[in-house]
Structure 1
Amino acid sequence: MHSLLIANRGEIARRVIRTARAQGIRTIAVFTEADRDALHVHEADLAVQVPGYLDIASIVAAATDNADPSSTGVHPGYGFLSENAAFARAVEEAGLVWVGPQPQVIDAMGRKDRARAIAEAAGVPVVPRGEDAATAEPDQEWGPVLVKAAAGGGGKGMRVVRRADELPAAMEAAAREAAKAFGDDTLLIEKYVERGRHIEVQVFGDTRGNVVHLFERDCSPQRRHQKVLEEAPAPTLTEAQRTLVTTSAVALARQVGYQGAGTVEFLLDAASGAAYFLEMNTRLQVEHPVTEEVVRVRGERLDLVALQLRIADGEPLGFTQDDVTVEGHAIEARVYAEDAWGGFLPQAGTATYVSWPGTRPVSARGSSRRGTSPVSARHEPRLGASGEGARVRVDHALASGQVVGTGFDPMLGKVIAVGTDREEARRTLVAALDDTVVLGLTTNTGFLRHLAASDAFRDAEVDTAWLDRTELARPDDTRARLAAGWAAQRAEAERYPSALRPDGWRDGGPAAPVVRHGVEVPSRDPHLPACVRLGRDRDEVVLEGERFVLEHPGADRDHAVAAGGDVLAPMPGTVLAVRVEVGQQVARGDVLGVLEAMKMELSLTAPFDGTVTEVAATPGAQVALGARLFEVVGAESTA
């Protein structure tokens, strides 16, 4: 393989480019207009613009027109076309080398219903079915059940149902979401495990029939079926459970003659200890770095992308199961552009300043930013507090000055912490998230830091539904206001001569307190590891990963505020549905419409009982953050 086209974007495109370059392989990136200045575009040897990341013909042409097809591979990354059998076939039909499993295997394992049948044939335990819930009487005892799309994954087209009368609406919503995401609205209904752990096994197969596992990962911390933290090895597995899931994963891969990288996912029932097959992902996973950081083959670390390229070239794995061991522990945190304290709503905007732990800040055009950072305050990395065996890895695609829109998945990067044991890895992750700074854009970094530092995660008590039933408290902003006040005090000390600066001094009495953002600024440095940007109308502070926006008294507000019965767009997105019309009577909580952004649906509901007096939303329309979509007038106002 002399050239490699990466049919993806973001951090996975950069990740594949890094390995290809290390192996002397020429890289070809594809990009859309929105990604013209993305990091992966600047890092590849050649970049080709395409209409979209789902445009199969254009992506294949980008490879065949710019390299010798017979020695050019196509790596799909994850997401987009990575599990699209039609894409894999188009690549092979063009004479290119497909870096992934066979198209027929993608077809077979890409559907949960087919994959379930194959798993049963391989002797792999599966989740009990729950179809009888669909015919249950409203007052009949049953459930809970999980309704999920048969044709895809990633939490899309998935709903938990606890009452029979809620099932029809859940199936309708799941089918609609599945049809849009996968072009297929077929659903499965299975038993829902209330307290479970999400365990997955990394497998590899070559063209010679060899299959091995690279042990397991635990991906239990999830919200809305989306993974938040992942780690390897799984901290709660018994040896019997580990043997069951790893041997089952290999048996399933052998059953379909699997080639390349794949992940077999299981649900471990905390109540019974039983493990059930969920699905197989026929691609590299987002969380593959934790496996790379702990798995050893004859004592050496593995590069999973390099192993993918080796298998695509027709080479054997080069090792056996007995050669594979685990050393240390790794935990990964997914950094998203989302408001974790506001319903995990996707966020958009410009990341004015970005600093990842252990890396030099980079601009959106790929050049390193040297010299003074555009912030005013202390930001002291704390990674040195970790043990000697600790290290941090960052896979990201966000740089200073980059615009984050709503057209793609909101994941910005991944922070991976490694330690000699789980506790060292956890403490290293907390410190690394403390050192992660994003200004201008709200991210979930503070939430991740809060979760990683929690007693529940420390004690490995976080199961798949823990975040759904547990409300973490939003960090208090007192220390952030103190950091902003101190930064402003320092800035004024540099701006004014010493005799004129406002320091609280007065003749004939004690010094008057200097108050900013509602707190008294101390006379000495509070030594807070905060990053502060002072502005005319507001100050921004990032402290322990959390971004605080502190308005100055009397400053104009440029963010949306809901007033009265106005229902505003909580995020930029697309109106999927309008459920009401002017004059219609509604009750508090009734769904007025549905908005979608970054692959997530959000129901807009009535704030109180009343009458719909305005409908400004139109299905299919793009709306901005804060756009007024509906107005509801209370019953007392219309009397």
Structure 2
Amino acid sequence: MASSGGLLFVLNRYSKIRPTRSWMGLVSRDYTSPWREQESDGQNRYFDKILVANRAEIACRVMRTAHRLGIETVAVYSEADKNSMHVAMAKEAHCIGSAPSSDSYLRMDRIIDVAKKTGSQAIHPGYGFLSENKNFAALCKDEGIEFIGPSPSAIEKMGVKRVSKEIMSTSSVPVVPGYFGKDQSNENLQLEADKIGYPVLIKADLGGGGKGMRIVNEREEFNMMLEACRSEALKSFNDDKVLLEKYLSKPRHVEVQVIGDKHGNILHLFERDCSVQRRHQKIIEEAPGPNISQSTRESIWSAAVRAAKAVDYVGAGTVEFIVDTQDETFYFMEMNTRLQVEHPITELITGTDLVELQLRVAAGHPLPLSQSDITCTGHAFEARIYAENPSESFSPSPGLLRHLATPSSSETVRIDTGVRQGDEVTAYYDPMIAKLVVWGPTRTLALNKLVQSLHNYQIVGVHSNLSFLTSLASHQSFIDADVHTGFIEQHRESLFPSNKGLSPRQQKLGILIMLALERYNNTRNLSLDPFNSTDGGRVNTMHHRKVSLKGKDEIFTGSVEYIGSDDFNISMDNSQWIPCSGQVRQKAGGLVFNGFIDNEKASADVVTTENTIHCFTNDGNSFSVEFPMPEYYNKSSSGDVGGVKSPPYSTRVNKVLVNVGDNVKKGQLLLTVEGMKMETNILSPIDGVVTEVLYNVEDVVAANSKVVEIIND
């Protein structure tokens, strides 16, 4: 794993930004916060103990700052998270239920019981789960426990989207055209959508994080999309009310970080651009937003502060806007009444610790700085690293992290994570592995640092989006800051190239590394039996052999001529012989290959699992090769022809809409399933008759399982 060095900039009302070794709670022992220097009289103490009502990355991030401030932390965990990183970090940890979040991280009563039992004075909700639940905030207040966040009233006003838009309209904050009324009948919503004009965006009234949101491009899709949106909203937020908005096809997503205290002070910490998204969820964020005029920036900052003041906001929050790419007209979208996933990029450009500010204002202290104290320095990017398969519509990829190596943390590279090598990414929660955050004095230098750091990230055991993130960050339009929420769709062909095979050089390198691994394993074999050697040695003759490996979706074969123990000639497809050489050696944390292909240097970190060799090159073109297995080895009785399969991850059945004997049309909705925080519609691939329905509502379905059998008419 990476080292934990970095840089923390600390602000107070008496000083400008000053650097202190390491960031986010990883400071040296002799460090004392200048905010605390003002508190020596004991009247401005933080809390002694807090409970963190969350898991994984955000729980670990909150705990780091708390520990730096001398605050004890209490973790809560589900049975699936017993051995997780956030449990190990906390001084105390208590199980609050089984794996489903509905029986653990959403159980307000159990969390409050743990807080009372442990003497926790406050609860930090992180993001997601109960972080924007007004009832939980109110329950904390009733129990005499400080909720580290805004008031129940502010959460309610900003959480109910129709109410928030009414408040924004009266506060001179522009809102996007749409329908925010109380008549929720299907007929009225259809009528209002027709009035707005398509495309229309249906959004859960209490929604957030991309859940409970559907784009309707044509009138004929409206009812199906409305039903899907309501169902997902009910599951996620226990409320199926929706609102409608005019969908802008190429807007930018620009948001402003704000923070307020209990003394009426509200500040902004500049803007972030979060336009590049998949499934309405952010992938790469940056701060400040590029290619925005100064006048528009200042107008957006002012609108965000007015929005927060309109609800007497306390704590860290984010006011989100959509910005027209043509004329920079902007509209209020929503306010997230919590700490955002992407808050680290704001911390890096402003030199603040937002979690410390949250703790400070929750304890009743005024903000220790004024608006003029906050300056923007440099540029920062955050890339969200997920266990998912971008080529399969970004479907989640739960599994064991068999190998995990990260770029080293430094003054310009920060890694926020909640998992370690050997941990499991489960199907019950969001599949985020880490947030890679980088800083540079300019956007160009910060982006270069991001690409370089992505090249140095290694994951084995689950599919990840590392290659996709690299392609995205290296795309010329992204380099030019020509970004909008439809970026991925617009550039789909270049981001998802149809040629998925390995390059000729990668094929040769794969074969060469395999040969070097054979030699490496042979040198470690203490047997002196010459017949046990795999180095190709022969007496008075040149040894030749053919090597077949599988790379991605193809099997390739190379001819190998042994010259010496580490030297070979390799020919692909009976082409000319190419001189190759190389060795695999042990290094700290694994194996490394160094060699030459046709007199050009070749190197890679090497990880082996079963029949697969994973090759991590420093140019970002990492790949894997495997030894082809006999056809009978992979044969399975599941997923017969004619069977409709579930997604490639564990799910639970929400609805079954067909019965045996039903006639169905191609594209007809058969059932809905939910997993990895997403609801998925399973549609019929053909016209036919249902001959078998294998699951009922609430049944758990394994990945890629047949759920319905259909035969042609």
Q: Which range, TM-score by smaller chain?
A: 0.7 to 0.9
Corresponding residue for residue 437 of structure 2:
416
Equivalent in 680, 685, 691 of residue 607 of structure 1: 685
Corresponding residue for residue 592 of structure 1:
670
For residues 529 and 608 of structure 1, the distance between their equivalents in structure 2, rounded to whole angstroms, comes to 48
Instruction: Name whichever of 502-511 and 566-575 sits farther off.
Output: 502-511
For residues 476 and 538 of structure 2, the distance between their equivalents in structure 1, rounded to whole angstroms, comes to 45
Superposition pairs of residues 350-389 of structure 1, within 5 angstroms: 350-358=400-408
For residues 584 and 530 of structure 1, the distance between their equivalents in structure 2, rounded to whole angstroms, comes to 55
Corresponding residue for residue 220 of structure 2:
165
Corresponding residue for residue 496 of structure 2:
473
Corresponding residue for residue 31 of structure 1:
77
CA shift for structure 1 position 84:
0.8
TM-score relative to the length of structure 1: 0.88
Matched, 1:73 2:122: yes
Determine if contact 2:178/2:196 at 8 Å carries over to the other structure: no
Instruction: Name whichever of 414-423 and 507-516 sits farther off.
Output: 507-516
Equivalent in 533, 549, 553 of residue 607 of structure 2: 533
Instruction: Name whichever of 158-167 and 508-517 sits farther off.
Output: 508-517
Q: Structure 1 residues 260, 558: closer, same or farther in 2, change over 3 A?
A: farther
Corresponding residue for residue 122 of structure 1:
171
Paired AA for residue 84 in structure 2: A
Determine if contact 1:206/1:314 at 8 Å carries over to the other structure: yes
Superposition pairs of residues 460-609 of structure 1, within 5 angstroms: 460-471=481-492, 472-474=495-497, 476-478=501-503, 481-496=507-522, 500-503=533-536, 514=547, 516-517=549-550, 518-520=556-558, 523-524=580-581, 525-526=595-596, 530-542=604-616, 544=620, 548=624, 550-554=626-630, 556-557=633-634, 562-570=639-647, 571-609=649-687
Equivalent in 130, 149, 154 of residue 209 of structure 2: 154
Corresponding residue for residue 94 of structure 1:
143
Determine if contact 2:193/2:200 at 8 Å carries over to the other structure: no
Count residues with an aligned counterpart.
597
Q: Structure 1 residues 343, 561: closer, same or farther in 2, change over 3 A?
A: farther
Determine if contact 1:503/1:514 at 8 Å carries over to the other structure: no
Q: Which runs of 4+ in 1 moved over 6 A?
A: 558-561
Matched, 1:394 2:415: yes
CA shift for structure 1 position 283:
0.6
Corresponding residue for residue 473 of structure 2:
452
Q: Structure 1 residues 287, 611: closer, same or farther in 2, change over 3 A?
A: same
The Cα offsets for residues 141-183 of structure 1, whole Å up to 9 and x where unpaired, read as 9321111011121111111112122212211111111111111
For residues 141 and 251 of structure 1, the distance between their equivalents in structure 2, rounded to whole angstroms, comes to 27
Which protein has the larger Cα radius of gyration, Structure 1 or Structure 2?
2
CA shift for structure 1 position 514:
5.0
Determine if contact 1:3/1:26 at 8 Å carries over to the other structure: yes
Q: Secondary structure at the match of 2:318?
A: strand
> Any gaps of 5 or more consecutive residues in structure 1?
296-300, 360-382, 384-389
Superposition pairs of residues 301-312 of structure 1, within 5 angstroms: 301-312=351-362
Paired AA for residue 712 in structure 2: G
Corresponding residue for residue 15 of structure 2:
none
For residues 456 and 694 of structure 2, the distance between their equivalents in structure 1, rounded to whole angstroms, comes to 43
Corresponding residue for residue 441 of structure 1:
462
CA shift for structure 1 position 533:
3.0
Q: Structure 1 residues 184, 549: closer, same or farther in 2, change over 3 A?
A: farther
Q: Secondary structure at the match of 2:481?
A: coil
Paired AA for residue 234 in structure 2: A
For residues 610 and 469 of structure 1, the distance between their equivalents in structure 2, rounded to whole angstroms, comes to 35
Paired AA for residue 675 in structure 2: A
For residues 148 and 417 of structure 2, the distance between their equivalents in structure 1, rounded to whole angstroms, comes to 22
Matched, 1:320 2:375: no
For residues 270 and 559 of structure 1, the distance between their equivalents in structure 2, rounded to whole angstroms, comes to 51
CA shift for structure 1 position 229:
0.6
For residues 508 and 45 of structure 1, the distance between their equivalents in structure 2, rounded to whole angstroms, comes to 67
Determine if contact 2:439/2:446 at 8 Å carries over to the other structure: yes
Matched, 1:195 2:218: no
Determine if contact 2:252/2:325 at 8 Å carries over to the other structure: yes
Q: Secondary structure at the match of 2:709?
A: strand
Paired AA for residue 445 in structure 2: E
> Any gaps of 5 or more consecutive residues in structure 2?
1-46, 98-103, 181-187, 524-529, 551-555, 559-569, 571-578, 582-594
More strand by share: 2
For residues 145 and 623 of structure 2, the distance between their equivalents in structure 1, rounded to whole angstroms, comes to 46
Corresponding residue for residue 625 of structure 1:
703
CA shift for structure 1 position 592:
2.3
